[in-house]
Amino acid sequence: MASLISSIRERNKTTPTWLKVLIPILAVGGLGVVAVLAAVVAFVVTAWLGQPVPVLGFDQTFEQPISFPHTVHAGTGQLTDASGGLRMNQHGEPLEALGLDCTFCHRTVTTQASAYVPPVAQCAFCHQAIGPDSSEPLTQLRVNAGIIGDDPSPINWRRVHRMPDHVRFVHEPHIRYLTANPSAIGNAADGVNSAASVKPALTCSTCHGDVAAMEQVEQVEALKMGQCVDCHRDNGAPTDCAACHH
């Protein structure tokens, strides 16, 4: 032991000063490189398996230009505010969510490829009369619709669910099949599968999650090809590549 210590002391004497400075720097730098690599690998692995960690703009949800609450329009039951208290109207009665069907606004979903986001005029059908003047998002909406002011303009909603460009997803057959076969509906909100009659809208939750309960829409499912193929296999849908990639 003593000889080992003495040999280290001997080496210390012979090591040049610049090397003594450089070795700890290199050690710290090496650790840093390892840490960065580990972070990158962890990000890639999580993104591969499910949804990417919400950093660097990989968020699953976006701040929309107007904070449209799906809870009010599509949800059910009494509405609560941020602190958990009941929301009241001007007569002091508790407000109830509307429970609208998804297809009330996303009208083309049962007939066409895309479920369109309604134009601002469609919001204005109701909101030129309904909703308090004091509401800030509604005022913004009325400006966009041209009810307030004289400069109507469309709302630039940010898209939350986006398929890659080489995938051709068509809503119509999916909604049609799931409406006819409620047993195939997955991830549904409670009570959907037991419902006697399935509305087209209830099938949406299979891929979009329970949007009616979301204050701000986020992507719940990873929507990777594996999920598509699993579901297509289970339900006898085509698994030919050209069914979606063309």
Partner 1 sequence: MAVDVDKCTGCQACVLACQVENNIPLNTQDRFERNRSIAWIRVERYWEGEFPDIKARFIPIMCQHCENAPCEPVCPVFATYHNAEGMNIQVYNRCVGTRYCANGCPYIVRFFNYWEPVWPESLRNHLNPDVTIRSRGIMEKCSFCVHRIRRGVRKADSEGRPLNDGEITTACQDSCSTDALVFGDLNDPNSKVSEMKKSDRYYTLLHHLGTNPNVFYLAKIDEDREVAHASHESEGGDGHE
245 binds partner 1 (CB under 8 A): yes
User: Which of residues 21 and 243 has its CB atom nearest to partner 1 in the complex?
Assistant: 243
DSSP letter at 168 equals -
232 binds partner 1 (CB under 8 A): no
Residue 94 sits at φ, ψ, to 5 deg, of -65, 140
109 token code pair? 């979903």
Displacement of CA 147 from its chain's centroid (Å): 31
176 binds partner 1 (CB under 8 A): yes
Residue 167: CB minimum distance to partner 1, A: 8
Residue 184: CB minimum distance to partner 1, A: 16
Question: CB under 8 Å to 77, separation ≥6 — which residues?
Answer: 96, 97
Instruction: Report d(CA 140, CA 241) in Å as an integer.
Output: 44
Instruction: Report d(CA 204, CA 217) in Å as an integer.
Output: 13
164 binds partner 1 (CB under 8 A): yes
233 binds partner 1 (CB under 8 A): no
Longest CA span, the chain: 93
162 binds partner 1 (CB under 8 A): no
Considering only 93, 150, 151, 240, the residue that binds partner 1 (CB under 8 A) is 240
150 binds partner 1 (CB under 8 A): no
Contact positions toward partner 1, by CB under 8 A? 164-166, 168, 170, 172-173, 176, 240-243, 245-246
